Amino acid sequence: MDFFEFKNRISNLKKIELPGETAHNKLAPSIRIQELKKIDFSEKRTNQAGVMAVFYPKYDETYFVLILRKTYKGVHSNQIGFPGGRVEKEDRDLAETALRETEEEVGIPMEKIEVIRGLSKLYIPPSNFWVHPFVGILEETPTLVPQESEVEDILEVKLEDFLDDNNFVTRNLSTSYMKNIDVPAFLLNDQVVWGATGMMLGELREMLQEIL
């Protein structure tokens, strides 16, 4: 999609009610839905994180960025996700967390990103995090620089591919909690994107379809 047209429409996201859990569940493995229903959050101390879906122009088209995390001893090793991370004491709010982490992980200066709005928060059981996603826009093509310690690769995803129904797929995968289960996912840049990132993308996709 032409970036100029996208830029003119993206502010309409602010007018849309968040579909939240309804959209998340369309991209959630059935076992994850059952797991979330059993959690009593009133008795749980959780961590907080902010992530950013930042859109920008490239060759006059609209793109957004995802990252492939490094392989390490942790629950999110070698996974596809949005740039983002844990809240730090100096962050004024979760949007600033997402902006700061985006600059650290992919090199986009935080002051150049206009935050459009937040999306529905999502709980990640394996890491005990509430993740708060935000949508932002950058009006220039960025020079993307992966954070050496955290990021294995940067994926520049074309908006047109993300919205293409042919890239909404089901794949049989083995996860940390179940072997050989069918999971809904997105096929983006030859990568299968599922789980929490897929769930957040699912909500974003539904909202974008309303305004584009």
SS3 189: coil
Give residue-wise pLDDT tens across range 93-144.
999 999 999 999 999 999 999 999 999 999 988 788 999 999 999 999 999 9
**Residue 59 burial (CB < 10 Å; 0-12/13-18/19+)?**
exposed
pLDDT of 77 above 90 = no
pLDDT confidence tier of residue 28, bands split at 50, 70 and 90: confident
* pLDDT tens-digit readout, 160-183: 999 999 999 998 876 655 677 888
What percentage of the chain reaches a pLDDT higher than 90? 77
CA distances from 151 to 12, 140, 187 (A): 32, 22, 20
* CA pair distance 14, 207, nearest whole angstrom: 10
What is the C-alpha separation between 20 and 27, in angstroms, rounded?
12
Query: In this predicted structure, what is the pLDDT of residue 183?
Result: 87
> Given 3-state DSSP classes, what are the helix, strand and coil percentages for the chain, each rounded to the nearest 5?
35, 35, 35
pLDDT at position 206 over 80: yes
Which of 42-51, 154-163, 202-211 has the least mean pLDDT? 42-51
Token couple for 36: 């979330």
